[in-house]
Structure 1
Amino acid sequence: MIPLRSTLASSLASTGAAALLALSLAACGGTTKSSVTSAPAPAPLSTASSSAAKADPNAPMKQGIKLAFLPKQINNPYETIVDNAGIEAAKEYQGAAKEVGPSDASASSQISYINTLTQQGHDAILIAANDANAVCGPLQQARAKGIKIVAYDSDASPQCRDLFINQASSEEVGRSQVKLLSQLIGGEGEIAILSATANATNQNTWITFMKDELTKPEYKDMKLVKVAYGDDDDQKSFTQTQGLLQAYPDLKGIISPTTVGVSAAARYISGSKYKGKVVLTGLGTPNQMRQFVKDGTVEKFALWNPKDLGYLASYAAAALVSGQITGAEGETFKAGKLGERTIGENGEIILGPPFTFDAANIDQFDF
């Protein structure tokens, strides 16, 4: 089971109730995905290497920084929360930020947006990559023009970005999901995973750790029968849930480590004969999952504070642009109300541990 932590609760308290209610969409236009194709990633550009520059932690924050958030898709509620928090954070350091992106989460859908943002001369592009390699070439072109690249939520290939803001340790997320489901189903039975897209970096990393966790002796009576993909589309995730339950009549539990997938799965199960018989857990937001927790469809699920993820990504990008950090391991910077943060191996900054939501605490959160 995921350890219950107070980290998220205290973070939300410091954020304030008003900030937790600011969930408006901030999307801008761009070119369509029909005109773009995926290109292989080129070799890293030495001109964009963090090792070629020297950090000045005492450098003042640059004024008028222009940032752009490029989520997996703009109609994803979770991504909207993250991006809007980053946009609001930019106002704290007198910067300007916006959100642009595709309406679908296909591998090549983000490429045209990267190209457009590069032409517009933004100081930094923040991206939740749909495909780590498909976006690499365009991101390298942006870096060659001096644009800083910060991946968040779902990483791009490390040679194509300066930093990755990880919501939690990938290993901890993956293993903790298995531990939680095991507790809920009594450690035995057939289970399935309902993921987002087949190429999503974060999903695949988590699933790798889930599979490894399942090889431990304590899970010998649990069997993973299927990994299904809902493509972060509500209706497809709903249909995939239906298909899993029909194809595997002995299914005991489902893990859906995607906010779109877990809410769609909960919606299907809540109105079906499987309610109370099949356990569902995963990663979701309290506002999405509240009704399903209260009606008994879902007992427990996990996440982190997506507002803090966007906030941290925004400040990290600003620190990069201002020269306070270069992305090298061991460098530190101040991330507003989140305090000092340290860059880890491969340019990774971890927000914090996952948090488990249930009927006893879900009404304490509003996002």
Structure 2
Amino acid sequence: MSRFRTTRVLTALLSAASLAVALTACGGTTKNDSSDDQGGGSQATGTADPEAELQEGVKMAFLPKQLNNPYSDIEVSGGEEALGELKGEYKLVGPNDASASSQVSYINTLIQQQQDVIGIAANDPNAVCPSLNQARSSGIKVVAFDSDAAKDCRDVFINQATTQGIGEKLVEMASKLAGGSGEIAILSATANATNQNAWIDVMKTELAKPENKDLKLVKIAYGNDEDQKSFQEAQGLLQSYPNLKVIVSPTTVGIAAASRYVSSSNYKGKVAITGLGTPNQMREYIKDGTVKEFALWNPADIGYLAAYAGVALVSGQITGKEGEKFEAGKLGEYEIGADGEIVLGPPTVFDANNIDDFDF
């Protein structure tokens, strides 16, 4: 997969977060909140020094949506690789479910443990906000990745690709598989998932365009990023909508579960499955004809980029403001865009012709 080595340039200004109100901690000591302690301006303030030397020994904890999720496992592995290169300390914590508030207690514990950086894929953009703001008030940098937290609760956000680009690609694939007309359904993760909802909003806008007038979105179902729940939701969609042509699942858990159901049912060859999945997860369904094509980026690169951004924040190379640049190891140079967003790059479409070229 392309490593997207060219500079990413976005537009608009970053809205700086005001964190004047100190929230109550859950106990234990906290980090000094001065900018000197972190090697640069805290909470997206101060001046970045792009020539600052990257610090060694940076402690960064990754908090994915849930543990034992194949996609999240790949993501955080990239973070572990990067921190190894940077001579930092990698830590992985997280819940076993993807509920809105399940991450809060882990954030509070990481504050007590005096981590330098928290990397989080937020299950809910607002539920984690008070605890993340407490972390930032304590001098901890916050890097959201994959699924954003509220903008005033983190320093930067590592986005897989532009929200617009992902939403457009999902509709493009659905339209192609449906032959330009007919009923489609979406099998999402949780109802509060930031990234899922943003992509779905773009999909709705795309579906409202004249060129897609013959496509009808009949249902948005939620599998909660749980395999069995997603499997059951896929089954329910097909039973409820006998004329359904395509299920679009913008979550790796959902697309695999839907594919597994269709592959062993009478719907195989009649209902198409597409969305976002990993090549290793989806290879068997491409090979047996259940799935014609799907899309994704390299999830490990998201964690890798998040780790480099976290260490750059601690070292003072960046503060999270638009226009700041930093080097991300093998991925090359990146530029921070509007609202602290750092975009990995465009998604890749996988099909029978190229799926064996990838191993993740």
TM-score, scaled relative to structure 2: 0.90
Q: Which residue pairs with 1:362 in the alignment?
A: 355
Deviation sequence 1:241-267 (CA, Å, 0-9, x none)? 000000000101110000000000000
Which 4+ runs in 1 deviate beyond 3 A? 46-51
* Residue 331 of structure 2 is aligned to residue 338 of structure 1: yes
Q: Which residue pairs with 1:272 in the alignment?
A: 265
Q: 1:147, 1:51 → 2: CA distance?
A: 12
Q: 1:97, 1:139 → 2: CA distance?
A: 19
Q: Which residue pairs with 1:124 in the alignment?
A: 117
- The residue correspondences of 1:1-367 to structure 2 (distance < 5 A) are 8=1, 10-11=2-3, 44-46=18-20, 50-367=43-360
Q: 1:89, 1:164 → 2: CA distance?
A: 17
Residues 51 and 11 (structure 1 numbering): CA distance in 2 closer, same or farther, change over 3 Å?
closer
Structure 1 counterpart of 2:99, one-letter code? S
Deviation sequence 1:327-351 (CA, Å, 0-9, x none)? 0000000100111100000000000
Structure 2 counterpart of 1:11, one-letter code? R
Task: Specify which structure has the bigger relative contact order, considering alpha-carbon pairs within 8 angstroms and separated by 6 or more residues.
Answer: 2
Q: 1:112, 1:157 → 2: CA distance?
A: 18
* Conservation of the 8 A alpha-carbon contact between 1:44 and 1:140: no
* Conservation of the 8 A alpha-carbon contact between 2:67 and 2:95: yes
Deviation sequence 1:98-147 (CA, Å, 0-9, x none)? 21000000000000000000100000000000000000000000000000
Q: 1:65, 1:104 → 2: CA distance?
A: 28
Q: C-alpha displacement at 1:57, in angstroms?
A: 0.6
Q: C-alpha displacement at 1:11, in angstroms?
A: 3.0
Is the deviation greater in 45-54 or in 241-250? 45-54
Q: 1:51, 1:70 → 2: CA distance?
A: 21
Q: State, as a whole percentage, how many aligned pairs show the same letter.
A: 65
Q: C-alpha displacement at 1:52, in angstroms?
A: 2.6
Q: Which residue pairs with 1:29 in the alignment?
A: none
Q: Which residue pairs with 1:5 in the alignment?
A: none
Q: C-alpha displacement at 1:158, in angstroms?
A: 0.3
In structure 1, runs of 5+ residues without a counterpart are: 1-7, 13-42
Corresponding residue SS for 2:3: helix
* Conservation of the 8 A alpha-carbon contact between 2:43 and 2:136: no
Structure 2 counterpart of 1:347, one-letter code? G
Q: 2:168, 2:220 → 1: CA distance?
A: 16
Structure 1 counterpart of 2:357, one-letter code? Q
Q: Which residue pairs with 1:39 in the alignment?
A: none
Q: C-alpha displacement at 1:88, in angstroms?
A: 1.3
Structure 1 counterpart of 2:107, one-letter code? I
Q: 1:259, 1:176 → 2: CA distance?
A: 15
Structure 2 counterpart of 1:265, one-letter code? A
Q: C-alpha displacement at 1:218, in angstroms?
A: 1.1
Structure 2 counterpart of 1:144, one-letter code? S
Corresponding residue SS for 1:52: coil
Q: 1:195, 1:238 → 2: CA distance?
A: 12
Please state which structure has a larger fraction of its residues in helix: 1
* Conservation of the 8 A alpha-carbon contact between 1:44 and 1:160: no
Q: Which residue pairs with 1:34 in the alignment?
A: none
Q: C-alpha displacement at 1:49, in angstroms?
A: 5.9
Q: 2:44, 2:265 → 1: CA distance?
A: 56
Q: 2:195, 2:61 → 1: CA distance?
A: 21
* Conservation of the 8 A alpha-carbon contact between 1:50 and 1:328: no
Q: 1:203, 1:192 → 2: CA distance?
A: 14
In structure 2, runs of 5+ residues without a counterpart are: 5-16, 21-32, 34-40
Q: C-alpha displacement at 1:50, in angstroms?
A: 4.0
Deviation sequence 1:135-175 (CA, Å, 0-9, x none)? 00000000000000000000000000000000000011011
Q: 1:51, 1:176 → 2: CA distance?
A: 33
TM-score, scaled relative to structure 1: 0.88
